[in-house]
C-alpha cells in the first residue's frame, strides 16, 4: 500500500526529512503547484509509524486518514503491526467528515463484550444541507431536489443513508471481536438491505440505529464477526446494515459464540389431511386467536422465522431458539 501511494507522479513533490544523525524521519508528498499535502509517512517520538493519506472534500478543507503501525524486530515473520482500534476510529472519522456532511464528531468506540448487547444510536435528522453536501462530495449531478408531487417532500438518495450509517456500524469493531493489532483483519462484506414495504426517505425524516452482534463464530481461518445494524426511520424499522469481518488467527470462546438468522423464509406444502392435522397438534404451532381458518390438504404454509443459535463447541450447538409467523394459503380462501 505504501509503495502504491508513494509512487512518483507528475506534478508532485516528495520531501525527505532527516534527523540529526542522518536517519529519515518523514517523507511527505505534496502538490507542486499549491503545496497541498497528499500523503506522508512519519516516525513518532514513541517509535510508531504514522501514514497519513489526505482526501479533498469540495465542501470543506482537506481531511486525512491516519494509519498507525508499530515495528517489531523480534517478530521477523510480521515486522509491522497495525493498531486496529485506532484504525477503526480513523475510518469512522473519515466517513463522518467526508460522507455524512453533518460535521458531527466520530462516535465513541464501543466493544461488544456481551453477545446480547444492543447499542442504540442517538439518531440524526436529515436536512437539505446534508444531502446537498453529500451529493456534491460524490459528484452526483443527477439528484433531483424537486419535491415529490404526491407528498410535497424531497426524496433522499439511498446512498446517503447507507454512508451515513457507517459510523454506527464501525463503532463496534472492538478488539474482543476482531482480534489484536496485527494486520490480520479482513473486512469481507458491507451490505445494506431494505425491508419489504419500506417507504422512501425524505428530507426532514429522523434516522436512528440499533447495533448488535449478528454472528460470532469460529472458522478454520479465524473468527467471523458480523454486526447487525437495524435502521429506523421515524421510529419504524426500514432496513438492516450488515458488516462482516474475519479476524485471522483468533478465536472466540464457545460460550460467547452466537449466530442470528433473521427473516428466514420457508415454504411447506401440506399434501394430505393427516399432515395438516399433525401440524395443528405441534406444541410450537398455534393458530392466531380469533381466526377460523385452518390448514387442510393442499394448503401452503409460508414461515417467516428469526433464529438464535448458541454454541457448545465450534461445531455443536448448545441451544437454538426460533420464533416467527406463519402465513396460511388455501385453495379457496387465499392468505390468512
Nearest one of 273, 241, 260 to 307, comparing CA atoms: 260
Task: Return the pLDDT at 155.
Answer: 87
Cell reading at 74: 523480534
Query: For the segment 237-274, what is each residue's pLDDT rounded down to a tens digit?
Result: 999 888 888 777 778 888 889 999 988 889 989 888 88
Distance CA 305, CA 319 (A): 16
Cell reading at 240: 438492516
Task: Return the pLDDT at 102.
Answer: 45
Query: For the segment 267-318, what is each residue's pLDDT rounded down to a tens digit?
Result: 989 888 888 888 888 888 888 887 777 888 888 888 999 999 999 999 899 9
Q: What percent of the chain shows pLDDT beyond 90?
A: 12
Nearest one of 218, 215, 214, 216 to 249, comparing CA atoms: 218
Helices (H) and strands (E) counted in the chain, each on its own, are 7, 16
End-to-end CA distance of the chain: 57
Mean pLDDT of the chain: 78
Q: Most distant CA pair in the chain: distance in Å?
A: 91
DSSP state of 289: T
String of DSSP letters for 199-259: PPPBTT-EEEEEEEEEEEEE-SSEEEEEEEEEEEETTEEEEEEEEEEEEET----GGG-EE
DSSP state of 155: B
Cβ distance 262 to 240 under 8 Å? yes
pTM of the model: 0.62
Q: What percent of the chain shows pLDDT beyond 70?
A: 76
Amino acid at each position: 500500500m505504501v509503495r502504491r501511494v508513494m509512487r512518483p507522479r507528475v506534478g508532485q513533490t516528495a520531501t525527505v526529512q532527516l534527523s540529526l544523525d542522518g536517519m529519515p524521519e518523514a517523507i511527505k508528498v505534496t502538490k507542486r503547484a499549491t503545496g497541498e499535502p497528499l500523503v506522508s509517512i512519519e516516525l513518532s517520538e514513541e517509535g510508531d509509524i504514522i501514514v497519513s493519506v489526505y482526501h479533498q472534500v469540495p465542501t470543506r478543507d482537506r481531511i486525512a486518514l491516519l494509519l498507525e503501525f508499530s515495528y517489531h524486530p523480534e517478530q521477523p515473520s510480521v515486522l509491522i503491526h497495525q493498531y486496529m482500534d485506532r484504525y477503526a476510529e480513523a475510518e469512522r472519522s473519515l466517513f463522518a467528515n467526508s460522507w455524512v456532511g453533518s460535521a458531527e464528531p466520530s462516535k465513541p468506540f464501543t466493544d461488544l463484550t456481551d453477545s446480547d448487547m444492543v447499542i442504540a444510536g442517538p439518531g440524526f435528522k436529515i436536512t437539505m444541507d446534508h444531502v446537498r453536501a453529500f451529493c456534491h462530495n460524490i459528484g452526483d449531478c443527477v439528484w433531483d431536489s424537486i419535491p415529490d408531487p404526491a407528498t410535497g417532500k424531497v426524496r433522499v438518495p439511498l446512498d446517503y443513508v447507507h454512508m451515513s450509517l457507517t459510523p454506527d456500524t464501525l463503532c463496534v469493531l472492538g478488539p474482543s471481536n476482531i482480534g489484536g493489532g496485527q494486520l490480520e483483519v479482513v473486512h469481507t462484506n458491507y451490505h445494506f438491505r431494505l425491508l419489504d414495504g419500506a417507504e422512501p426517505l425524505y428530507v426532514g425524516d429522523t434516522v436512528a440505529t440499533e447495533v448488535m452482534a449478528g454472528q460470532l463464530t469460529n472458522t478454520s481461518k479465524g473468527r467471523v464477526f458480523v454486526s447487525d445494524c437495524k435502521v429506523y426511520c421515524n421510529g419504524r424499522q426500514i432496513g438492516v446494515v450488515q458488516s462482516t469481518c474475519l479476524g485471522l488467527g483468533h478465536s472466540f470462546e464457545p460460550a460467547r459464540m452466537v449466530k442470528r438468522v433473521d427473516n428466514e423464509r420457508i415454504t411447506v406444502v401440506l399434501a394430505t389431511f393427516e399432515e395438516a392435522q399433525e401440524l395443528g397438534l405441534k406444541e410450537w404451532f398455534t393458530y392466531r386467536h380469533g381466526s377460523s381458518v385452518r390448514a387442510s390438504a393442499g394448503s401452503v404454509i409460508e414461515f417467516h422465522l428469526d433464529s438464535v443459535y448458541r454454541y457448545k463447541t465450534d461445531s455443536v450447538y448448545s441451544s437454538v431458539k426460533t420464533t416467527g409467523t406463519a402465513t396460511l394459503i388455501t385453495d379457496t380462501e387465499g392468505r390468512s
